[in-house]
Every structure is written in C-alpha cells, then in structure tokens.
Amino acid sequence: MDRNAAQEKGIVELEQIEIVQDNAAQLQPTHYRPQTDAEKRLDKRVNRKLDLIVVTLLAVEFIFCGIDKTNVGFVATSSFVKDANLALDDIPNSLSLFSATYVPLQLFMVILARRVGVKYFIGCQLMLWGGLCMCHAAIRGSGTLIALRILIGAAEAGFTQIGMFYMSTLYPKYDVGIRVGMFTGMYSVAGAFAGVLAYGLLRVKSEALHGWQVLFLVEGSITVFLGIISFFLLPKSLSKAWFFTEEERTHAIRRMELDLAGAQEEGDIDSTALSRRDIVDVAKDWKKLMTVICNISTVLPVTAFTTFMPLIVQGMGYSGIQATLMSVPPFVAGTIGLLIIVYSSDHFRERSMHTVGGMSLGIIGLIVMATSTDTQLRYGFAHVCMAGVFVGGPLLAVWIAGNTPWKGTRSVIMGVNGWSNIAGVIAGQLFKSKYRPRYETPLIITMAIMVFGICGLGFLKFMYLRENKKRARDIANWDEADFASEAASTERRGDQKRTFMYGT
C-alpha cells in the first residue's frame, strides 16, 4: 500500500470511528449519509446508474421468475388439465413438489452464487429454468408435470435471496429497501403481467399447438434471453462496474465502508470466502433465525395468491379466461402498496412495524374474503389484502441483511431465509380443490398464521431495542482508543461487536 493510499485508509478509519460513536450514542444503527451537496449529487448519480442497470435487469428477471413459477396456475383455467391428462389436484400438488427442491436448496445456491460470482450464477440459473419452462409444452401426464416442477424448483432455488444479497452489497442499508422492494415487487407485477400475457397467449389459435403450449414456449424463451444478457450487463463487484467513472467507483466503495463502519469488513464484494465461523455464527443467532420463522407467515399469502388467485377469483363469480384477467387488478394494488410501504421504511429507517402494518392490511382483506357472501365486496377486499401482503418478504430480508454486516455470514443467513419458502408447501396443501369455490378454510388458516408472525415480529423488535440499550450502557464511558480497539478486534466481528447497534 503506497503512502497516499495508507493516508486515505487512515482517514476513512477515523471517520468510521466517529460515525460509530455518534450512532451508538443515539442508539441508531451505523449507516451512510452524504454530508455535502456535492456528495449528495455524486451519490444520486451512483444510485441512478445502479438502478438503471442492476435493479432494472434483476426486476425484469424476477418478473419471469414469478411467471415461470406460477404459470401452471394460470393455464389451469384453460384446457390444460384435460389436454395434459391431469387430475384437479395435480396442480396444487405440483406446487408442493416444486418446493421439495426449491426450499432445501436455497442455502446451498446462495453460498454457491457467492463463491462463483452472482452475475455468472444468475445467468446460468435463468437459462436453465427458462429451458425447463419451455419443456412444459410437452406435458402429457401427471408424471411429466411432477418431474418438471421438481427440476424447475431446483433451478430457481435461491434466485430471490441471491438478488437481495447482491443488492445489499451494492447499496447502503437505508438505500437498499426501496430497491429490494422494486425487485421483489416484480413478483406482484408478475402476477398482473402473467394474467395479461396468459390471457393473450391462451387465445392463440394453432393447428399444431394449444394455447397453453404457446404460453410455456414464449415465456421460457424470454427467460433464456434474459440469462444470456446477464453475463454482459451485471457487474461482478463495485470495483469492476463497467458503467462507473473512477470518481463514482471510489465513492460507491467508500460509502459501503462507512455504512459498515466498525464491523471490520471491506466495502467491496471481491472476497468470495466462506468460513466455518460464518455458519456457526448464524446457527447461534436465535433472533435472526426467529425472523426467518416469522418470514414464513409473510411468504405464505404471497405464494398462495400468486398461484391460486385466478381460482379464488373464479369463486367470486368469474369463469375461464375472464377469471385470469380479473386477477390482474389485485396484483397492481399489491405493487403500489409494496412500493409505498418500503419507501416509508427506508425514509424512517424502521423495518419491523412497517412489516406488521402491511400484514395487518392483509389480514383485514382476508377477514372479508373469508366471511362475506357478497362477491363484489370480496373482490374489492382482495385488493386491500394484496396491498399489504407483499411487504413482508423484502423488508424482513433487508432487515436481516442490515443487521448482518459481515458478508460471509450474511450470505449464509440470506440462504437460510430462503427456507421460509416452505410456505409454498403449506399453500399447496391448504388451497385444495375440495375448498372451492370460496376457499374459506384456507383463508382463515392463512390469517391465523399471519397473526402468529405479527406477534413474533413485535417480540423481536423489543429484544433488539433491549440489546441496543445494553450495549449503549456498556460503551457509555469509552474513549476513542476503546472504539478503535473494538473495531480492530478479531474476537468479535460484524454485529457481534459491542459498538454495533441493530436496526429495528
């Protein structure tokens, strides 16, 4: 390291110590904030480029992740079941079997993506599951459907968590929430877009192909194309982002170092190392593991409604392709509600109660959908429900990421968080055809599970606040040398350091 670099590093480290001291005194988690007008302009320029290239591409890919995962539910309203020689329960069973590989492989895939490089791993994932989606056009029985759903579940495993982990290494913790919201919000857009796309493709007339076969072929081929362009557009790391100027690159790395101040971790993501300690640290952190359990209660309604909304709408008096088309507006409401709540969460630097607010909105919608006999009222409150339920997944993910500054450990806990997709198995077993047309029992059970999640999140917020107060008392009389010593210590790292304040 030359003298200038060493001096600059020393200045940054001193700046980090000052940031840690200031935030600890206020019981606030350390986070980056631009200080001057010039720095704010530079910061906006960096964010704008990352938004345009990284977030936009990941968001479009997530749309097709959602479409390729749930298109079986949309073709269920067509002649698919009859043409492919399927039974009515084959579709909900296929959702459970999709999760049989999709859920267990989450951790492995996130760790592998960190080791290989996110840009390369995501590209390969998209090409693989896009090809498998196209193979759905050849389904001629339940055996083929089950085999393809198991394989596509393995291919898609970890994509959501990988995308959120990737963005958490590019943006400061209170800039990333809205970006993760835009990314995962595309799942609700996928529901709306899938409905429109399915409506058009299912009406295609062909002597050689049924409409549902055209749908699988078109949607799968688009996914393969997105995988190819990922290799060329996504940056491997901030230091290798092809679209930054030297000034922007330096600022992008520096702001991540300040955002991680006191956590003894670099601001860039070139390191792909993973140690046994990373895994052990996650296994010992009961609060984050409990957050993952609570996340199951937020993922359940999302998984259920993105797959079964057309069938639920059928029970409100609509039929066939019209049911598919009428399932679109609730997804639009879901996207709008998600973006409003995650923006508020970033602005107020608060995660748990924003998640609780969204879930509460979802419960209000579920109560009416489960108890009312007025089909128009039930359809209207489906919009209310969807406006809230999409919030939990992204907010809990960025909450976990923000509270896990050490990136090796973060990759492990994000992979573990992917196991919350066990909700897909629950949804597949709840929304059986025997509950048609109103699905009262599945809706009530979903609501009860969400109430459990809300109680858990309230408890976690209380425990994190209590831990912050304890740490503030412990370091109240520290001087600058004590803070510097803690920052350099290898005994504790990341959020284990006594100077680290948890976000709530």
Predicted TM-score (pTM) of the model is 0.86
Which residue type, as a one-letter code, is found at position 133?
C
Q: State residue 406 phi and psi, 5-degree precision.
A: -75, 120
Which residue type, as a one-letter code, is found at position 129?
W
**Positions of the chain with pLDDT lower than 50, given as ranges:** 1-12, 267-268
496 within some domain: no
285 within some domain: yes
| pLDDT for res 178 | 94
503 within some domain: no
Alpha helices in 118-185 (DSSP H): 118-135, 142-156, 159-168, 176-184
383 within some domain: yes
Question: Residue 208 contacts by C-beta under 8 Å, 6 or more apart in sequence?
Answer: none
2 within some domain: no
274 within some domain: no
DSSP secondary-structure letter at 236? Answer: S
Residue 140 host element (H or E): none
Which residue type, as a one-letter code, is found at position 340?
I
Tally of structural domains, the chain:
1
Which residue type, as a one-letter code, is found at position 142?
S
DSSP secondary-structure letter at 328? Answer: H
Residue 403, classified by CB atoms within 10 Å of its CB into exposed (0-12), middle (13-18) or buried (19+), is: buried
| pLDDT for res 180 | 94
Residue 87, classified by CB atoms within 10 Å of its CB into exposed (0-12), middle (13-18) or buried (19+), is: exposed
29 within some domain: no
Residue 261 CA to residue 257 CA, distance in Å, equals: 6
| pLDDT for res 362 | 93
As a whole number of Å, the end-to-end CA separation of the chain is 38
Cβ atoms of residues 109 and 158 within 8 Å? yes
216 within some domain: yes
Residue 36 CA to residue 57 CA, distance in Å, equals: 31
Full residue range of the structural domain in which residue 233 is found? 43-261+281-467
| pLDDT for res 54 | 96
| CATH classification at residue 116 | 1.20.1250.20
| pLDDT for res 397 | 94
